[in-house]
Amino acid sequence: MMRLPSLQWAAPRTLTELTTRLAADPASTKLLAGGTDLIPNLKRRHQHARQLLWIGKISELQGIQPEASGEVSLGASTTLTAITRSDHLRRHYPGLVRAVASISSPVLRNMGTIGGNLCLDTRCTYYNQSEEWRRSIDYCLKEAGDTCWVAPGSPRCWAISASDSAPLLAAIGAKVSLHSVAGEREIDVEKLFVDDGIQYLAKRPDEVLTRIRLPAVSHSRSTYWKLRRRHSIDFPVLGVGAMVASDGGGRITAARVFLGAVASAPLSVDTSALLGQLPTEELVHTVAERARDLATPLDNTDFTLQWRRRMVHSYVDGALRELCGLPAKVVAPREGRFAIEV
Ligand SMILES: Cc1cc2nc3c(=O)[nH]c(=O)nc-3n(C[C@H](O)[C@H](O)[C@H](O)COP(=O)(O)OP(=O)(O)OC[C@H]3O[C@@H](n4cnc5c(N)ncnc54)[C@H](O)[C@@H]3O)c2cc1C
Ligand code: SF4
């Protein structure tokens, strides 16, 4: 049986109490939200802490609040289930609801939070193993070893960003608020991530992710396409978050596509070919080719890297066709099935 190491535990009641406690020892303190990633990681000794601060009692981190401006403020401790059940989010942010509904299983979504999903540890075949397994081949760079087993000789870790909400939130232009005793700052979701498997967040250890601000949706549509082996429960091996906005005449005024699970951070695809244009199959194909050229997955998760790269083209093409109302070449992946050629 895997056991937690001996830990101090506290449940602050206010954001001020939380940031003050965190500032006292950020290096050996971890924030505990739903615990669906952190607790297994502590048990397998991937992550280490002397103190856990449970953030579930703090009202400032709760709730889904539509604003008069049309924006929505989402508390970081909002559960994934609450997001999938919100009528407002289902109506106005269907792409976000689809991304969140694809995360793990119903039981884990009841506990797991949107803040925890954004701060999720990066993943790798050589890292997400038992402690005995990792010790037997010697620990890798991500665990203070001196070799990356995926790319020996590489000075950096290539573990992948496996958050399903991150590419979608980046695509729709959401922002996150970060609080510490030094104050508050708000940054774009894509700026929260660093393309490095070890230092994968731009958030400082003394900062708490408090809220996510969803922009008002006007004439825009969003979607999320996720590739994984088992549709009942599995991390993504590719996630495509996409948003397209059009004017009254159907010309595209904004388009954003982010790829998840092919690098240590969500990757932004060049969509400039679509801007100012009426959507066509050729333009969508051009963007999908750019996405495939951008993605250079390594052999550190499920499926072969060559096939995952081919699927980048297929999934970006499919997601953009869906948003642009073009005839489908593949059916959008739903629970229980892969994307299917039609
Ligand atoms: C079997 C299984 C399958 C899974 N499948 C998926 C999947 O398909 N897709 C997917 O994206 N995830 C998946 N997960 C991972 C996880 O369940 C989700 O990502 C979940 O949303 C994590 O949220 P949490 O509240 O449980 O985070 P926690 O485990 O509590 O925390 C995760 C990390 O975020 C930090 N953190 C949490 N909240 C904050 C905050 N407000 N501010 C700063 N730091 C914070 C914690 O300190 C920790 O480092 C899976 C997990 C399991 C066990
Ligand atoms: S990419 Fe390399 S360093 Fe990073 S977790 Fe995998 S084996 Fe370790």
Ligand 2 neighbour 126 (Cβ under 6 A)? yes
116 Cα–ligand 1 center, Å: 4
Nearest CA residue ID for atom 2, ligand 2: 148
Ligand 2 neighbour 162 (Cβ under 6 A)? no
Q: Helix H segments across the chain? A: 15-24, 38-43, 80-85, 87-92, 94-101, 106-111, 114-118, 131-136, 165-172, 281-294, 305-324
Ligand 1 neighbour 163 (Cβ under 6 A)? yes
Ligand 1 neighbour 134 (Cβ under 6 A)? no
40 Cα–ligand 1 center, Å: 10
pLDDT at 108: 95
| Region 220-331: CATH code | 3.30.390.50
Spatial separation of the C-alpha atoms in residues 25 and 56, rounded to whole Å: 20
76 Cα–ligand 2 center, Å: 28
Ligand 2 neighbour 158 (Cβ under 6 A)? yes
DSSP-assigned beta bridge partners for residue 75: 211
Nearest CA residue ID for atom 9, ligand 1: 103
241 Cα–ligand 2 center, Å: 25
106 Cα–ligand 2 center, Å: 30
Q: Which of 28, 32, 37, 59 to mutate to test the pocket of ligand 1 (most atoms within 8 A of CB)?
A: 37
Nearest CA residue ID for atom 4, ligand 2: 157
Q: Please indicate whether the domains covering 59-119+160-214 and 220-331 agree at the CATH topology level.
A: no
Q: Two tokens at 136?
A: 């037997």
Candidates 290, 330, 338, 336; CA nearest to 314 is: 330
160 Cα–ligand 2 center, Å: 9
Q: What angle, rounded to 10 degrees, do the helices at 305-324 and 281-294 form?
A: 150
Ligand 2 neighbour 197 (Cβ under 6 A)? yes
pLDDT at 20: 98
158 Cα–ligand 2 center, Å: 6
Domain 59-119+160-214 has CATH 3.40.50.2020: no
Q: Chunk the chain into consecutive blocks of 10 residues (it has 342) and report each block's average pLDDT, rounded to whole numbers.
A: 90 97 96 97 92 96 96 98 96 95 94 98 94 92 92 94 98 98 98 97 98 93 93 91 96 98 97 97 98 91 89 96 92 58 44
Ligand 1 neighbour 233 (Cβ under 6 A)? yes
pLDDT at 336: 41
Spell out where the chain has E strands: 8-10, 29-32, 51-54, 64-66, 72-75, 175-180, 183-188, 208-214, 220-227, 238-246, 252-260, 267-269, 330-331, 340-341
Spatial separation of the C-alpha atoms in residues 123 and 98, rounded to whole Å: 22
End-to-end CA gap in the chain: 47
pLDDT at 339: 54
The residues spanned by each domain of the chain are: 59-119+160-214, 220-331
pLDDT at 176: 98
Closest atom of ligand 1 relative to the 113 alpha carbon: 25
123 Cα–ligand 1 center, Å: 12
125 Cα–ligand 2 center, Å: 8
**pTM for the full predicted model:** 0.96
